Chains A and B, each alone.
Chain A
Amino acid sequence: MSYSDLQAEAVPVEPGPAASVRGRSPFRLAWARFRRDKLAVVSLVVLALMVAFAAMAPLWASWTGHPYDATFPKTALDVDGQPVGPSRHFWLGADQLGRDVLVRAAYGARISLIVGVVASVLASLLGVAVGTLAGFVGGWLDTLLARLMDLTLALPYLLVAIMLATTFQISSVFSSLTLTIIVIAFFSFAAFGRIIRGQVLSLKEKEFVEAARSLGAGNLRIMFVDVLPNLVAQVTVLTSLLIPTSIVFEATLSFLGVGVRLPMPSWGSMLGEGSDVFQTAWWLLAVPAILLLLTTLSFNLLGDGIRDALDPRSERLIGKR
């Protein structure tokens, strides 16, 4: 090897172009961390499958030829009038009225996911609005809103929810689905709002807020540019952890018969019906219970994964590795 070859080799590697200039945003870093969390990724896949299962509900109905509210006394019930178990025609068995459990479970998944996501998003919007207002404005408004949230938390929520649901269902102002969502959102926002209020109170004292103020920024700008973006991580985590709670809340209400009204199936009402006959027809209880468990567990693990990914403290742990 000649001297010039060596010299050519000694030329340092050019630093990568543009790549070093573009900053890595907190969310891109979080996504990189999230992808390393196997449990969270698996949960995401399970939930994607669950969404697909729910979205395909009408397809299941047409493939099996069993609409969710149709009864099939001839094929679904045996000679003793007992529902048939999982079979070629009824993949996940039939219920005591002769309806297809698979199709009903798919429609139930729609209800659970819709109620879970919509109620949680609604609760978080309300919670962020109330919490931010209370924490940011302070004074008498803070006192008022904070006491309001305390009051909501002090209510025996199940009793009030049952009362509200029955009252409004009779007058049928809202559809039962909307009403269930509103009830769940109302009883979830207070805990959310309190956390946000605390966060806003501490953010408000941060030096960068003072810096913005000394630059001449108004309250609105400080709220939307400096305070709210710093809540995004918290809100994302809290909302994702609120979804399973809302799903269980909906199942509880439907189980008690004050949630989503029959004959629209819900996992809660399916559990309610199945609990009467589970000794002879285990699948009536097992199918909605397993689906409910899988969904809530996945949402919880996903929420934990998001928390770990967004929490700056976890960055150091990974860096140390």
Chain B
Amino acid sequence: MTGEDDVLVAAEGVVKHFPIRQGIVFKKEIARVHAVDGVDLSVRRGETLGIVGETGSGKSTLARCLTGLHPVTAGRIFFEGTDITRLSRAGLKAFRRDVQMIFQDPYGSLNPRRRVGSIIGDPFAIHGLADGAERRRRVQELMELVGLNPEHYNRFPAEFSGGQRQRIGVARALAVRPRLVVCDEPVSALDVSIQAQVINLLRDLQTELGLTYIFIAHDLSVVRYVSDRVAVMYLGRIVESAPASGLYGRPRHPYSAALLSAASIADPDEAARAERIVLTGDVPSPIDPPSGCRFHPRCPKAQDRCTVEDPPLVPRAGDPSDHVTACHFPVEPGERLARREAGIAQVSTDPDLPEAAP
């Protein structure tokens, strides 16, 4: 493994709970949503960490904790060695120059009442970096950098397409020369053809500017394409983390295996051979997560031990040290988890015709 000083961001036991309150005057906490529940991770300089997981697995909340948008309930987050969870106001503002975010919704993340030039110029105004003609010049440089026409400086977001709007979001995030960019499902709201353009833009910018990315998505093929390492989240925990090739080639956690088996495969012959693991039941409520391993109610391999003992996130037998899995009974290579082969799981919708009498 690489040395400590290569690590740009490290999270230690990050917990984020959202209280659910009830009552008119004295708001009593009646429950809490365990959005993120004890996450450790580290991101090295210049790499891309992909985070995948279903809706509600806590990916976005984790991203917002890492950028300092949500104060954490517990745990520590180190950026360049400083703990950002206990920064002062001024310290936080300085930290926000180093960490930027690209949002999922290219429509919601741009203020519809403001001109593009002033949206992209916002970081310069907020941090007092450039004014007037200088700001305009730098904004137009940024627009060019992300492939927008600098002459559209005075247009409104409504006059751009979804892909162009996402480019505006990218330009705004890059304005302050951040070191870490957290992309929260940056392409999931875009057409597939546009997705490739935006992803390639992000990759080009990474090599050009030496950026570090945390890339959140639920599209596994997108994450595989951009990520050096991938972490799989389930119900507020990281269940498996490994280099992209290791995780995609040899998933150890049953949940990762199920997730990967659900991804579509372009080659129809390959797809026919592929095993499809169909998980039963719904994701349990994060208000009252299951005991022990959180995946046990849906896991095809679950045993008694899983219901009581929370498995640690460690390298399992036969894995390299950077491939960690939180599972007592990891999936062995060649093991089949599915009860049925792919294709058979699909029930025919043709009406049942009575068989011809012999």
Contact = CB atoms under 8 A, between A and B. Distances in A.
A226 interface: yes
A286 to B, nearest CB: 46
Nearest to B100: A214
Nearest to A217: B126
Nearest to B115: A23
B104 interface: yes
Interface stretch (A174-182, A202-210, A243-251): A202-210
Nearest to A228: B113
Contacts of B126: 212, 215-217, 221
B103 A230 contact: no
Contacts of A213: 69
Interface string B171-189: 0100010000000000000
Contacts of B127: 216
A210 to B, nearest CB: 6
A23 B154 contact: yes
A206 to B, nearest CB: 6
Contacts of B48: none
Contacts of B109: 207-208, 210-211
Using C-beta atoms within 8 Å of the partner chain, give the interface range for chain A. Answer: 20 to 34
Interface residues of B, number: 40
B236 interface: no
B28 interface: no
A26 B103 contact: no
B100 A217 contact: no
Contacts of B110: 208, 211
Contact of A26 (B101, B113, B154, B176): B113
Contact of B25 (A25, A143, A208): A143
A216 B114 CA distance: 18
A67 B172 CA distance: 65
A48 interface: no
B105 interface: yes
Contact of B103 (A21, A25, A211, A216): A211
A229 B122 CA distance: 15
B99 to A, nearest CB: 8
Interface in B86-122: 92-93, 96-97, 99-101, 103-105, 108-116, 122
Contacts of B227: none
A274 to B, nearest CB: 48
Contacts of B115: 23
B151 interface: yes
Contact of A229 (B100, B108, B111, B116): B111
Question: Lowest 5 CB-CB distances: which A-B pairs, in order?
Answer: A23-B155, A216-B96, A207-B109, A207-B108, A229-B113
Interface of A: 21-26, 143, 206-208, 210-217, 221, 225-226, 229-230, 232, 312
Interface of B: 24-25, 64, 67-69, 92-93, 96-97, 99-101, 103-105, 108-116, 122-123, 126-127, 151-156, 158-159, 169, 172, 176
